[in-house]
Amino acid sequence: MDNSEKIKEILRANDIVDVIGSYISLIPKGKNHFCICPFHDDHSPSMSVSKDKQIFRCFVCGESGNALTFLMKYLNIPFLEACEILGEKCGIKILKKENKKNSKYEKYYDIYNKVTLFYKNNLNTKEGIKAKKYLEERNIDKKLIDEFDIGLSLNGGLGQVLLKNYDKKTLVDLDIINENLKDSFTNRIIFPIRDTNNNIVAFSGRIYNEEDINKYRNTKETIIFKKGQILYNFYNAKDNIRKAKEVIICEGFMDVIRLHSIGIKNAVAIMGSNMTKEQIKIIKDLKVSVTLNLDQDHAGKTGSIMVGEQFLTEENINLKVIVFNKAKDSDELITKYGKEDFITAYRNKIDFIDFKLDFLKNNKNLSNAEDLSKYINEAIESINKLDDDILKEIKITELSNKYNINKSTLLSKIVKNKKIKIKYENKPIEKEKLNKFKISEIRIIYLMMNYPEVINIFQKRLGYLINKDMNYLASEIVGYKLKYKEFKLEDFITHIINDENLNTVFKKVMSYNHMENYTDDELEDYINTIKLYSVKKEIEKYTNKLKNSLDINEKKELLKKIENMKKEVLEW
């Protein structure tokens, strides 16, 4: 069975109501379900989800499609990934076509793959015994070693092997060897770093058998590795993040590995205590809640404040922070005190604003009036950044009660939010004024897509539309039914998924306020309206010719044609 047939099976096996309902709250109303449309700045439920037709449709912005197109748009993922997500729900695997190799970068990925295998093999040599013992002492067993491709760099040897097949400049540019042909990583536990497409693009090496000021060494930035665009473990974690509807952001990859070892597989690491706009966007596009799990020392807490502020600035996201005091980070907490201590800390995670208000108390003596005043002013400044006026008042009330300060004094410093304008890729389409000819075309296509018998009537009675884009879509509908001997709208949507022009016209058709049912007389009227429009255009053409013609015989012929066309219209 080829992929096109598998995709049809996947769509049949997944109810669109269940798919969309797992991401957005749906309200049943009559035959359909309704929800706030996630594709424009919606304030009342304007998106309809049809269980019968297995499609969704927004009456405001015009966004429409099936379960696959919803996932692509909502999760900002490519078509095949959306197929995989739905396929996993019903146990149908999609055959991935091999991506065409990018000659510019494939060579580099191949090199990093070979280096990874080289490092992994080192762990099984005599020289790797100490490293393996170190990993065992840190509760990194063989299963975790294999899952995260952990390896070991020795004191040389890698460069000599690679230089047999690759040139020096390439290996130096990739930070695998230096100009003196020495290995860039020596005597370190190696952790491969993958990009969002699962390509190994860099390494991080940790010392294990000697003291060194620099505990970690990372690959320098290269043509394929930009640290600020990478989240450690993102590729492996993304499906679990979507299932959990939450991402846990850690500071280092050991925290991620440790959480993975206790069954928490929706964690990523920023490999530092700050985030870039690119990393924020990767997370934001997932449309999930965010839990910060950075280090618990002062630097880590400062990092949590910085990262949290970035998320609040970029987008209104449900933001929590994990707090504990027994250990510096979650790796140490779990290793020393066990899984349950972390689970308890996770369950007791706090809102970011509470974390920040507590952090602002550091280095202040709140029994001192000057320090208390400074704290209150900093707290109000933080509260003002919230976009929820009710939450602002709750926090002000808490400050007033706790520090016995007049609430009205505090409230006077609170700024009421103006409505935040959110930029959406899909702006609600402006409703153009439609004449009866345009309405007829839109209705004919809508009825063709929802009533297969109308396709046959269209072929026999009309066979064309005036607008070239509408005609293109109508022709595609007819061609699809001829090819597959049937027409199901949810399958047709998948069929046109990569054609931007067809999707634009489809969206325009679906955004019209359609009546679901039709009568034979109504359809006949639409068909005659299109014919009339065509005849009028022809009459205009011949009339213009008639005005400009000096030949009496030609004039007679043109008049005859015009009269015949007018008679034809009267016969309808």
The predicted-structure confidence for 523-565, as pLDDT tens digits, reads as follows 999 998 998 888 777 777 767 777 777 778 777 776 777 677 6
Distance CA(190)–CA(117), nearest Å, equals 11
pLDDT at 331: 96
pLDDT digits (tens, 9 = 90+) for 128-148: 999 999 999 999 999 999 999
Over residues 174-179, the mean pLDDT reads 96
Distance CA(554)–CA(569), nearest Å, equals 23
Please list, in sequence order, all residues whose beta carbon lies within 8 angstroms of the beta carbon of residue 370, skipping any fewer than 6 positions away. Answer: none
pLDDT digits (tens, 9 = 90+) for 302-311: 999 999 998 8
Smallest CA-to-CA distance from 530 within 470, 478, 487 is with 470
- Give the count of beta carbons closer than 10 Å to the beta carbon of residue 498: 9
If one compares 537 and 228, the residue with the highest pLDDT of the two is: 228
Distance CA(402)–CA(390), nearest Å, equals 18
pLDDT digits (tens, 9 = 90+) for 41-72: 788 899 999 999 999 999 888 899 999 999 99
- Give the count of beta carbons closer than 10 Å to the beta carbon of residue 386: 19
Task: Name the β-bridge partners of 65.
Answer: 56
Average pLDDT, the chain: 89
pLDDT at 146: 95
Residue 427 above 60 pLDDT? Answer: no
- Helices then strands, each counted (H, E), the chain: 26, 14
Over residues 482-494, the mean pLDDT reads 94
pLDDT digits (tens, 9 = 90+) for 252-270: 999 999 999 999 999 999 9
Distance CA(470)–CA(502), nearest Å, equals 9
Residue 91 above 50 pLDDT? Answer: yes
DSSP track, 107-160: HHHHHHHHHHHHHHHHTTSGGGHHHHHHHHHTT--HHHHHHTT-EEE-SS-HHH
Confidence at 421, pLDDT banded by 50, 70, 90: very low
Whats the size of the chain, residue-wise?
Answer: 572
Share of the chain above pLDDT 70, in %: 92
| Token code pair at residue 89 | 């729900």
Residue 103 above 70 pLDDT? Answer: no
If one compares 109 and 549, the residue with the highest pLDDT of the two is: 109
Over residues 477-503, the mean pLDDT reads 93
Distance CA(152)–CA(478), nearest Å, equals 61
Q: CA 54 → CA 118, 212, 426, distances in Å?
A: 50, 60, 22
Q: What residue type is 116 in one-letter code? A: T
pLDDT at 420: 42
Distance CA(287)–CA(16), nearest Å, equals 19
Q: CA 111 → CA 120, 150, 166, 171, 502, distances in Å?
A: 14, 17, 9, 9, 42
Smallest CA-to-CA distance from 509 within 447, 569, 442 is with 442
- Give the count of beta carbons closer than 10 Å to the beta carbon of residue 378: 16
- Contact at 8 Å (CB) between 57 and 70? no
Residue 176 above 50 pLDDT? Answer: yes
From 370-384, 509-523, 534-548, the region with the lowest mean pLDDT: 534-548
Share of the chain above pLDDT 90, in %: 69
pLDDT at 239: 87
Confidence at 422, pLDDT banded by 50, 70, 90: very low
Over residues 396-408, the mean pLDDT reads 94
Q: Is 253 left (phi over 0), alpha (psi -120 to 50) or beta?
A: alpha
pLDDT at 1: 53
pLDDT at 212: 65
Residue 569 above 60 pLDDT? Answer: no
pTM score over 0.75: no
pLDDT at 537: 76
pLDDT digits (tens, 9 = 90+) for 286-325: 889 999 999 999 999 999 999 999 888 755 688 999 999 9
